[in-house]
Amino acid sequence: MTTSNKETLLLVDGMALMFRAFYASAASGYIRRTKAGLPTNAIYGFMRYFWDAVEKFSPSHVACCWDLGSKTFRTEQFAAYKGNRSEAPDDLIPQFAVILEVMDSLGIPNISAQGYEADDCIGTLASIYCQDMDVLVLTGDHDMLQLVNDCTSVIIMKKGHGNYMVYTPDSLMEEKQLLPRQIIDVKALMGDPSDNYPGVRGIGEKTAVKLVQEYHDVEGILANLEALSKGVRTKIETDLDMLHLSRQLATIKCDVELACQIDECRLELNHALIASKFEELEMKSICAWMGVAVV
């Protein structure tokens, strides 16, 4: 992780935390609810993940980024993008609106942009603020590793609470022998089943990584097609258009128009507001973790 005298901005992948929190608790078959019947298991789990990261990494500023819907510029480029995903569970859907209210009560901006994903909002904010601050990205999505640089670290949440892998350029190279931008080229070749784009059919992660390590990027691979085995060359030539499209789909946009002033992101808790919100949600225990007095 970056170490300096700069202030630190934590960018939270809200969608990743919500889905992780929901499924981690729903797996037991028990869904936490208020007396009125509102499901709150994802909100409760989200706060556990989120506040643990705040305590561990001590950011001075926080923003939380969200997807707005299924239609984005990527679905315009490739209609099947994320087309394999099922609808969110019924018990999760009402919790999305409530977690936005919870973030509001914490004074944390909820950031999104029509036609873009949370990843693009995170990439844009990281790009804007990392010149003057250390930026940390909290997510479970390895696609975000393309954002790693000297002032942006990506915190990948691993199984269990408080278990993280923090990626810097050095740790990324040590673990994967890849530069951050090469993450995009690997995805272009192998595709992404979770996002439902194929890359080059027949090329898996192992071959994709090997090709990128040897030839640096897609351009380097295409310039050296004659040096490749006939099987690999034929696969690439057959799916050349999809290779280029998959690369576009895999690339996080870092120039989205966003309204987010850094002063609005400073983490300054209004204890009365927080206590009121968590009392309404019947989650006073969260106030205890946060050191917020319940009146």
Decide: helix, strand or coil at residue 108. coil
Cα-flanking dihedrals φ and ψ of residue 246, to 5°?
-60, -35
Residue with tokens 């969200």: 66
Contact 292, 54 (CB under 8 A): no
Q: What's the fold here for domain 182-250? A: DNA polymerase; domain 1 (1.10.150)
Helix (H) or strand (E) holding 11: strand 8-13
Output the six-digit token pair for 195: 């996002």
For domain 8-173+261-290, the question of CATH label 3.40.50.1010 is answered with yes
Burial class (CB in 10 A: 0-12, 13-18, 19+), 89: middle
Residue with tokens 């556990």: 48
Print pLDDT tens along the chain (295 aa): 444 578 999 999 999 999 999 998 887 778 889 999 999 999 999 999 999 999 999 999 999 999 987 788 888 888 877 877 778 888 999 999 999 999 999 999 999 999 999 999 999 999 999 989 999 999 999 999 999 999 999 999 987 666 799 999 999 999 999 999 999 999 999 998 888 888 999 999 999 999 999 999 999 999 999 999 999 999 999 999 999 999 999 999 999 999 889 999 999 999 999 999 999 999 888 888 888 876 6
pTM above 0.75, yes or no: yes
Q: Report how far residue 248's alpha carbon sits from residue 253's, in angstroms, rounded to the nearest whole number.
A: 9
Q: Report how far residue 278's alpha carbon sits from residue 140's, in angstroms, rounded to the nearest whole number.
A: 26
Cα-flanking dihedrals φ and ψ of residue 64, to 5°?
-120, 125
CA–CA distance from 249 to each of 77, 188, 255 (Å)?
8, 8, 15
H helix runs in the chain, sequence order: 14-26, 41-57, 73-77, 93-105, 118-129, 169-176, 182-190, 205-215, 218-223, 230-238, 240-250, 271-280, 284-290
What single-letter amino acid sits at 10?
L
Instruction: Look at residues 198, 193, 209 and name the one whose alpha carbon lies nearest to residue 246.
Output: 198
- Provide the residue ranges of all domains of the chain, joining segments of one domain with +: 8-173+261-290, 182-250
